[in-house]
Amino acid sequence: MSSLDYGEMTANAPATDEPVPFSETQPYQESDPLKLPVRSPPPSGYGAAPPPPSYQSSYGLPDAQFSQGPDFQSQQTIFITPEQPTKEPDNLIFSIFTMLCCFFPLGIAALVFSIKTQVANNNGNVQSAQKNSRLSIIMARAALGLGIVVWILYIIILIV
Residue range 1-23, pLDDT digits in tens: 456 566 665 666 665 556 555 55
Give yes or no for a contact between 121 and 92, defined as CB atoms under 8 angstroms apart: no
pLDDT for residue 135: 96
- CB crowding 50-59: b at 16 or more within 10 Å, else e: eeeeeeeeee
pLDDT for residue 79: 74
- Greater confidence, 153 or 34? 153
Compute the average pLDDT of residues 42-64: 59
- Say how far residue 152 (Cα) sits from the centre of its chain: 52
Tens digit of each residue's pLDDT (9 = 90 or more) over 54-95: 655 555 555 555 555 566 677 778 777 666 778 889 999 999
**Cβ atoms within 10 Å, residue 3:** 5
Residue 116 pLDDT > 60, yes or no? yes
pLDDT bucket at 53, cuts 50 / 70 / 90: low
What amino acid is encoded at 94 in this protein?
Answer: F
Radius of gyration (C-alpha) of the chain in whole angstroms: 41
Phi first, then psi: give them for residue 151, nearest 5 degrees. Answer: -65, -40
